[in-house]
Amino acid sequence: MTLGGQPFEVAAVVVGTGSGGVDGPLPADHVVELVDADFTRLFPDERGQLAEIDPADGVSAAAARTAIEEVLVDYPTVNLMDQAAYKRMLTGTVDMLLAFVVALLGLAVLTALVGAVLGVALGTAVTAGAMALLARLAGDFTLVVPWAQLGGVLAVAVLAALAASVLPARRALALPVVEALADQ
């Protein structure tokens, strides 16, 4: 059988009241059911459809679902979902993506921890070896700390920090609050 210019193998023949040739158009009262792969091959640009169905006034959700399920028996590729199931489907996809991101973050943290442990272990080993080498080479090694120079550097650093913070603070205090907010 040829359908849409594509050859298909006939799996079953159902005798009906209409007439039509093998390669001709199907009568209006005939239905051709296709598996998803064949439908995609025939109609590559068509996408699945979403239909929202509200029960008629006075019909319970359970009764409406039963009636719809009876109709959908003839359409095995159609999925029937209520709002809760549709929401679960969408959130399931987001949850899966989030789990993937969390797994990647966990792997990054694990890699960082391994790197930190190896860095500390290597640093300790190298430092111990270097100290042992210095002890052998230096003999009577004495450390002289230039306290006066360190004090001078500390004093300059404190003065620079005060100048950087006190001068802008004084300027801000001199401005009235309403005037300062007017520019914002």
User: What tens-digit pLDDT sequence spans the chain (184 residues)?
Assistant: 676 677 777 666 655 544 444 545 555 555 666 677 777 777 777 766 667 777 888 888 888 888 888 888 877 778 888 888 888 888 888 899 999 999 999 999 999 999 999 999 998 888 888 888 877 877 666 778 889 999 999 999 999 988 888 878 887 787 777 776 666 6
pLDDT at 29: 56
pLDDT at 17: 46
Please report whether residue 165 resides in a domain.
Answer: no
The DSSP element (H or E) to which 107 belongs, if any, is helix 83-138
Q: How far is the CA of 6 from the CAs of 42, 43, 64, in angstroms?
A: 7, 11, 38
CA 35 to chain centre: 32
Same domain, 64 and 113: no
Q: In angstroms, what is the C-alpha Rg of the chain?
A: 40
Please report whether residue 161 resides in a domain.
Answer: no
Please report whether residue 112 resides in a domain.
Answer: yes
> What is the domain extent for residue 66?
50-80
Sort 55 into a burial class: Cβ within 10 Å, 0-12 / 13-18 / 19+. middle
pLDDT at 154: 93
pLDDT at 115: 93
Q: What is the dihedral of CA 131, 132, 138, 140, to 10 degrees?
A: 100
Domain count, the chain: 3
Same domain, 89 and 127: yes
Q: How far is the CA of 111 from the CAs of 35, 90, 107, in angstroms?
A: 47, 32, 6
Q: How far is the CA of 86 from the CAs of 72, 93, 157, in angstroms?
A: 17, 11, 63
Please report whether residue 26 resides in a domain.
Answer: yes
Same domain, 64 and 88: no
The answer to whether the pTM exceeds 0.75 is no
